[in-house]
Structure 1
Amino acid sequence: MLTVYHASGAGLAKVEGENATTGAVWIDLLHPTREEERDVEKRLGILLPTREEMAEIEVSSRLYQEGGAYFMTATVLHRAETATPEATAITFVLTERTLITIRYAEPRAFAMFLARAARGDASAGSAIEVLVGLLEAIIDREADIIEGIQAQADRLGQSIFEMRGGTATRTKRFEVVLKQIGRLGEITSKLRDSMLSLSRLLTYLTQVATSRGDSPSVREQIRTAGRDVQSLSDHLGYLNSRLTFMLDASLGLVSIEQNQIIKLFSVAAVALLPPTLIASIYGMNFRVMPELEWSFGYPLALVLMVLSAVVPFIYFRRKGWL
């Protein structure tokens, strides 16, 4: 889908029609068809990257200049609230007067920027202002996701160390906790990848804005966005360490639970060993066994077996092993 925006006062105006791209400040390509890509390429005289080229990870394929336009690709997280968060590549193509965005997902940041522009809270009078506004919206959105992860990590930390209940319920709860930690760790990993790509993009954009002679206010916005990305990256490092600690703590508590079960089996085996020995002795089929002729031989054997089981049990309890 091809959407064209023109600068309108302090905001943006959506324009349709055959000649809509003429004088456009922003062309948004969402799940573009090949015909739409060719139309934009023909009108602007540039070659747009394919979806496969957008997915390449080397810096030279993500940040480069070609045909008088600057190509910048960043990884952005979306669907973070769902069970299957995804990271998607978005390419920004900056020409002298127009910004082209190529994307195959609908991150909420784009809607956030359009809402800000409609209220007049975001400058959108030029292509680079739209680009900076979009990047700021992406950073704000990912900051919100990080804050959500922080809140979930706080709740998880409390549940891990304050978990109560029987062994069966605790085991099920630990299973849920481990899955939640794994999910948060996966989102955190994708966010760190996104922050790395945004940091590289902003560093490159700073050089582009300087070489283009863009206004000092725009260059200051880019530097501020870079500092925000750096602070978010640092916080993600802290969150990653905290999630690793909670994972280790959960696995340690699970190991303690398992050790407790194994200890019970070990104690039971040791406690039942003497009665088994006594029963084995008197179960042997020798002809001469004086105790077999005793009238009190059978009760004596039972008493010996009970005592041989009770004495180790009392000893283990006094040692604190049970």
Structure 2
Amino acid sequence: MINACCANDKSVSVHAMGAEDPIPEGAIWLDLVTPDANERAAAEAWLGLAIPTREEMAAIETSERLYEDAGALVMTTLLPMNVRAPDLKTSALTIVARRDRIATLRHADSQSIAVAVHRLQGTVEGGRDPGNALLILLDAIADRAADVIEEASAEFDSIASHVFGEGVDSRKSAEYKGMIQRIGKIGLKVARMHDVCGSLERLFLFLSAHAKTVALTSQQKTLCKTLGRDIRSIREHADALDAKLNFLLDATVGLVNLEQNQIIKIFSVLAVVFLPPTLIASIYGMNFEIMPELQWAWGYPFSIVVMIVSVALNFLYFRWKKLL
């Protein structure tokens, strides 16, 4: 599918088109969503250069993600997909920018694209400038990255308040396991956003260094550098949040271990408390022929009293030592 953003003197409109449809007049931005071979060929003819394939978009090397080709900048970055999903996924976005037109290629839905199109339609001035459309798109992507980190930080605060406030009951394995899983999912989200911010940071540096290729104005260059600094600060926030998550995970496991150790300590103390009566019962349970207490009428009550007294003395001693 191809979505074409067309600019006229008054507004910016969006048209959904296929490979057989001609590129609308005044188009400044083509958004290709999982295009077929015909749609890719039409977009390449409109741009005047080849668009990277999905395999090329997945390349790790910076030289294959960011390069200049035939007077155009080809830039590939990572985008968060469904942010509110339990497991955050990322997808590659390729931006091809020329002086008079831009194109984006993606294989997944992205809220950043929708936000950018909405902002572009609401732009009063500069709506026909492809450079302005490019920076609006990059600003929407940066805002989305910031939102993801803020949501992850809010989830961290909620879990931290629960762990250090109400506490985690180690006897409820489902609660304990669920808490560890929630912390792990936030950690995965932060790790993936760290990759997203890293790719965006390299993209902004590349765009700033090749601003003349796409004819960015001095104001647009300043905005590009500002967005690069914003992404750097978001990445630093993600690093700090990752460190706090490690602390929270260690604290959660430590608190549970303390509770479990307390339970084990109680059982150990109780074993020592009941050791003397066990010893007494073992002595009088021996089957020797000559045992003076066997003929004693008060032998049985006496042994019971001795057992109770030994338990009471041990219990009071451990209470005095604050072991129980």
Fold equivalence (TM over 0.5): yes
The 8 Å contact of residues 73 and 89 in structure 1, kept in 2 or not, is answered as: yes
The 8 Å contact of residues 124 and 133 in structure 1, kept in 2 or not, is answered as: no
For structure 1, list consecutive stretches of 5 or more residues without a partner in the other structure.
Answer: none
Name which of structure 1's ranges 138-147 and 43-52 shifts more when overlaid on structure 2: 43-52
| Counterpart for residue 156 of structure 1 | 159
Instruction: Please state if 1:101 is matched with 2:104.
Output: yes
How does 1:67-216 map onto structure 2 within 5 Å? 67-120=70-123, 123-163=126-166, 168=171, 172-216=174-218
Distance 1:194 1:28, change over 3 A: same
Name which of structure 1's ranges 104-113 and 142-151 shifts more when overlaid on structure 2: 142-151
- The percent of aligned pairs where both chains have the same amino acid is 37
Find the aligned partners of 2:130 and 2:168 in 1 and give their Cα distance. 59
| Counterpart for residue 65 of structure 1 | 68
1:7-66, CA deviations, whole angstroms, 9 ceiling, x for partnerless residues? 223642224472216653111111212221123224433222222221222212211123
Aligned length: 321
1:143-169, CA deviations, whole angstroms, 9 ceiling, x for partnerless residues? 122222222222222222111697646
Name which of structure 1's ranges 133-142 and 149-158 shifts more when overlaid on structure 2: 149-158
Equivalent of residue 228 in structure 1, options 215, 227, 230: 230
Distance 1:184 1:60, change over 3 A: same
Distance 1:165 1:92, change over 3 A: closer
The 8 Å contact of residues 116 and 122 in structure 1, kept in 2 or not, is answered as: no
The 8 Å contact of residues 170 and 176 in structure 2, kept in 1 or not, is answered as: no
1:263 shift after superposition = 0.8
Find the aligned partners of 1:166 and 1:241 in 2 and give their Cα distance. 24
The 8 Å contact of residues 168 and 176 in structure 2, kept in 1 or not, is answered as: no
Name which of structure 1's ranges 251-260 and 93-102 shifts more when overlaid on structure 2: 93-102
The 8 Å contact of residues 210 and 219 in structure 1, kept in 2 or not, is answered as: no
| Counterpart for residue 9 of structure 2 | 9
Equivalent of residue 302 in structure 1, options 299, 304, 309: 304
Equivalent of residue 276 in structure 1, options 272, 275, 278: 278
For structure 2, list consecutive stretches of 5 or more residues without a partner in the other structure.
Answer: none
- Give the 4+ runs in structure 1 shifted more than 6 A: none
Q: Aligned AA for 2:219?
A: S
The 8 Å contact of residues 80 and 145 in structure 2, kept in 1 or not, is answered as: yes
The 8 Å contact of residues 11 and 122 in structure 1, kept in 2 or not, is answered as: no
Name which of structure 1's ranges 222-231 and 63-72 shifts more when overlaid on structure 2: 63-72
Find the aligned partners of 2:10 and 2:265 in 1 and give their Cα distance. 72
Query: 3-state DSSP class of the match of 1:162?
Result: helix
Give the TM-score normalised by structure 1: 0.91
| Counterpart for residue 291 of structure 2 | 289
Find the aligned partners of 1:59 and 1:122 in 2 and give their Cα distance. 34
1:182 shift after superposition = 1.7
Q: Aligned AA for 2:159?
A: L
Name which of structure 1's ranges 277-286 and 12-21 shifts more when overlaid on structure 2: 12-21
| Counterpart for residue 30 of structure 1 | 33
Give the TM-score normalised by structure 2: 0.91
Distance 1:132 1:165, change over 3 A: closer
Distance 1:123 1:186, change over 3 A: farther
| Counterpart for residue 18 of structure 1 | 21
Query: 3-state DSSP class of the match of 1:90?
Result: strand
The 8 Å contact of residues 5 and 27 in structure 2, kept in 1 or not, is answered as: yes
The 8 Å contact of residues 6 and 25 in structure 2, kept in 1 or not, is answered as: no
